[in-house]
Amino acid sequence: MLEVRDVSVSYGAIKALHGVSLTVEQGQIVTLIGCNGAGKSTTLRAISGLVKPSAGSIHFEGKPVSRMPPHEIVRLGVVQAPEGRGIFSNMTVRENIDLGAFTRSDKHAIAADREKAMELFPRLRERISQNAGTLSGGEQQMLAIARALMARPRLLLLDEPSLGLAPQIVQTIFKIIRELNAPPPRGAGTTILLVEQNAHMALNIAHHAYVLEVGAITMQGPAAQLAASDEVRKAYLGGR
């Protein structure tokens, strides 16, 4: 579904990615784990068209997307819930959710999807006319995911959804991510590319995993296999 091939990205003189390649198959959860500054967010930014790769190519369902502006990539169905959540704190929760559906014009279907999103996150229903800036960190993360879902993503990009959240809320968020990925009728069968520092949680729900270190992929394989490997356990899971 998504093919990232030998992508390099530079910010000025600093090279953030050196030839990263990864593949996401339809229906999977693929996770990209690594330390702070390894280039995880940059990879997602490149896929969303926010930064242009200096080399390499990105294809979504066979279409080259690396030269497309971000809003057209969203129209193809590649939707990102950005790191730090990127909530519009000058608007209400409802306006934030509706902005997620910016690319759509089918009013009834949008209303139905808003209803579905609020079933998924009942907390948002309680806060619907509140200013989004007044939400707690966990609620903001829920809002960011709900907003991304409003675009009816075919590929959902999640950037550090657990960042700065209490363990219990992290559990809730991961449970929802798994539900979203579950095939119908239980879930929406959404394909997900999950960037995480919390390697333990990420490897637990993913099908396939990539390890990114200083701008390059150093390991990859089925998530369970990586979770069992000595190197990953030592470096990312706190094992000995």
Q: In terms of Cα–Cα distance, which of 40, 79, 81, 49 is closest to 67?
A: 49
Residue 147 in contact with another protein, rule: CB under 8 A: yes
Cα–Cα distance for residue pair 141/150, rounded to 1 Å:
14
Residue 226 in contact with another protein, rule: CB under 8 A: no
Residue 221 in contact with another protein, rule: CB under 8 A: no
Q: Are 124 and 142 in contact (CB under 8 A)?
A: yes
Q: Which of 10, 95, 163, 237 binds another protein (CB under 8 A)?
A: 95
Q: Are 12 and 26 in contact (CB under 8 A)?
A: no
Cα–Cα distance for residue pair 141/106, rounded to 1 Å:
26
Residue 106, phi then psi, degrees to nearest 5:
-80, 90
We find the least distance from the C-beta atom of residue 125 to another protein, in angstroms, to be 20
We find the least distance from the C-beta atom of residue 162 to another protein, in angstroms, to be 19
Give the total of residues touching another protein (CB under 8 A): 24
Q: Could you tell me which stretch among 14-22, 97-105, 202-210, 219-227 binds another protein (CB under 8 A)?
A: 97-105
Q: Which of 10, 21, 57, 103 binds another protein (CB under 8 A)?
A: 103
Q: Which of 98, 131, 189, 197 binds another protein (CB under 8 A)?
A: 98
We find the least distance from the C-beta atom of residue 186 to another protein, in angstroms, to be 28
Task: State which of positions 43-82 bind another protein (CB under 8 A).
Answer: 48-50, 69-71, 74-75, 79-80, 82
Residue 209, phi then psi, degrees to nearest 5:
-140, 150
Other Cβ atoms less than 10 A from the Cβ of 212: the count is: 23
Task: State which of positions 164-203 bind another protein (CB under 8 A).
Answer: none
We find the least distance from the C-beta atom of residue 20 to another protein, in angstroms, to be 20
We find the least distance from the C-beta atom of residue 93 to another protein, in angstroms, to be 13
Q: Which of 39, 53, 100, 161 binds another protein (CB under 8 A)?
A: 100
Nearer to another protein, 85 or 208 (CB): 85
Distances (CA, A) of 27 to 50, 81, 146, 180, 182: 25, 18, 19, 10, 8
Nearer to another protein, 54 or 90 (CB): 90
Burial class (CB in 10 A: 0-12, 13-18, 19+), 131: middle
Q: Estimate to the nearest angstrom the gap between the alpha carbon of 190 and the chain centroid.
A: 11
3-state SS class at 93:
helix
Q: Which residues bind another protein (CB under 8 A)?
A: 48-50, 69-71, 74-75, 79-80, 82, 86, 88-91, 95, 98-100, 102-103, 147, 151
